[in-house]
Chains A and B, each alone.
Chain A
Amino acid sequence: MIVGKQKSIAEIREIVLPYKKLLVLGCGTCVKTCFAGGEDEVATLSSALRLSFKKDGRSIYIEELTVERQCEDEFIREAAVAISKNTAVLSLACGAGVQAIARRFANVPVLPGVNTTFIGVLEKQGLFTEECLGCGDCQLAVFGGVCPVSRCAKKLQNGPCGGSRNGKCEINPDTDCAWQQIITRLTALGQLDNLRKYNPPKDWRTSHAGGPRKLVREDHVI
Chain B
Amino acid sequence: MKPESPSNLQRVLSDGKFAVTAECGPPRGADLEIIRRKGELLRGHADAVNVTDNQTAIVRMSSIAACVHLSAMGLEPVMQMVTRDRNRIALQSDILGAYSLGIRNILCLSGDHQTFGSQPDAMNVFDIDSVNLVHMVKVMKTDGKDMSGFDLVSSPRMFIGAAANPFADPFEYRVIRLAKKIDAGADFIQTQCVYNLDRFKEWMRLAREEGLTEKVHILAGITPLKSEGMAKYMAKKVAGMDVPDSVIKRMGGVPKGKAAEKGLDICLETIAALREIKGVHGIHIMAIEWEEIVGRIVETAGLSPRPVTA
Question: A residues within 8 Å of B by Cβ?
Answer: 153-167, 170-172, 177, 179-180, 183-184, 195-196, 198-202, 204
| A200 CA / B180 CA spacing, docked (Å) | 12
Most chain B C-beta atoms within 10 Å of own C-beta, residue among A154, A157, A171, A180: A154
Which of chain B's residues have a CB closer than 8 A to the CB of A204?
Answer: 127
| A162 CA / B172 CA spacing, docked (Å) | 13
| A58 CA / B172 CA spacing, docked (Å) | 65
- Quick one: given A157-B129, A198-B180, are A164 and B168 in contact (CB under 8 Å)? yes
How does the 8 Å CB contact mask read for B37-65 relative to A, with 1 for contact and 0 for none?
Answer: 00000000000000000000000000000
| A180 CA / B183 CA spacing, docked (Å) | 22
- Quick one: given A159-B180, A167-B169, A196-B180, are A154 and B84 in contact (CB under 8 Å)? yes
- The answer on a CB contact under 8 Å between A154 and B239 is no
- The answer on a CB contact under 8 Å between B110 and A201 is no
| A163 CA / B127 CA spacing, docked (Å) | 19
Which of chain A's residues have a CB closer than 8 A to the CB of B183?
Answer: 198
Which of chain A's residues have a CB closer than 8 A to the CB of B192?
Answer: 162
- The answer on a CB contact under 8 Å between A159 and B131 is yes
| A202 CA / B170 CA spacing, docked (Å) | 24
Q: Give the Cβ gap from A80 to chain B, nearest Cβ, in Å.
A: 38
- The answer on a CB contact under 8 Å between A160 and B169 is yes
- The answer on a CB contact under 8 Å between B113 and A153 is yes
Tell me the B137-188 residues at the A interface (CB within 8 Å).
147, 163-165, 167-170, 172-173, 176-177, 179-180, 183-184
Q: Give the Cβ gap from B255 to chain A, nearest Cβ, in Å.
A: 32
Given contacts A162-B164, A162-B192, A201-B136, 15 further A-B contacts (CB under 8 A): A155-B129, A161-B130, A161-B168, A161-B240, A162-B167, A163-B239, A165-B239, A171-B113, A171-B115, A177-B169, A179-B173, A180-B170, A198-B183, A199-B131, A202-B128
- Quick one: given A154-B113, A160-B169, A201-B147, are A196 and B132 in contact (CB under 8 Å)? no
29 A-B interface contacts by CB (under 8 A): A154-B111, A155-B126, A155-B129, A156-B129, A157-B132, A158-B180, A159-B177, A159-B180, A161-B110, A162-B163, A162-B164, A163-B239, A163-B240, A164-B168, A164-B170, A164-B240, A165-B239, A167-B169, A170-B113, A171-B113, A171-B116, A180-B170, A198-B135, A198-B183, A198-B184, A201-B132, A201-B147, A202-B127, A202-B128
Which of chain B's residues have a CB closer than 8 A to the CB of A180?
Answer: 169-170
Which of chain A's residues have a CB closer than 8 A to the CB of B131?
Answer: 157-159, 198-199
| A200 CA / B183 CA spacing, docked (Å) | 13
Which of chain A's residues have a CB closer than 8 A to the CB of B84?
Answer: 154
Q: Give the Cβ gap from A176 to chain B, nearest Cβ, in Å.
A: 12
Number of B interface residues, CB 8 Å? 36
User: Within the complex, which residue of A167, A196, A198, A201 is in contact with B127, where a contact is CB–CB below 8 Å?
Assistant: A201
Which of chain A's residues have a CB closer than 8 A to the CB of B135?
Answer: 198, 200
What is the chain B residue whose CB lies nearest that of A162?
B165
What is the chain A residue whose CB lies nearest that of B172?
A183
What is the chain A residue whose CB lies nearest that of B129?
A156
Which of chain A's residues have a CB closer than 8 A to the CB of B163?
Answer: 162
Q: Give the Cβ gap from B289 to chain A, nearest Cβ, in Å.
A: 21
User: Within the complex, which residue of A166, A170, A200 is in contact with B239, where a contact is CB–CB below 8 Å?
Assistant: A170
| A118 CA / B307 CA spacing, docked (Å) | 56
- The answer on a CB contact under 8 Å between B177 and A201 is no
Tell me the B87-115 residues at the A interface (CB within 8 Å).
88, 110-111, 113, 115
Which of chain A's residues have a CB closer than 8 A to the CB of B165?
Answer: 161-162
- Quick one: given A165-B240, A201-B127, A204-B127, are A195 and B113 in contact (CB under 8 Å)? no
- The answer on a CB contact under 8 Å between B169 and A154 is no
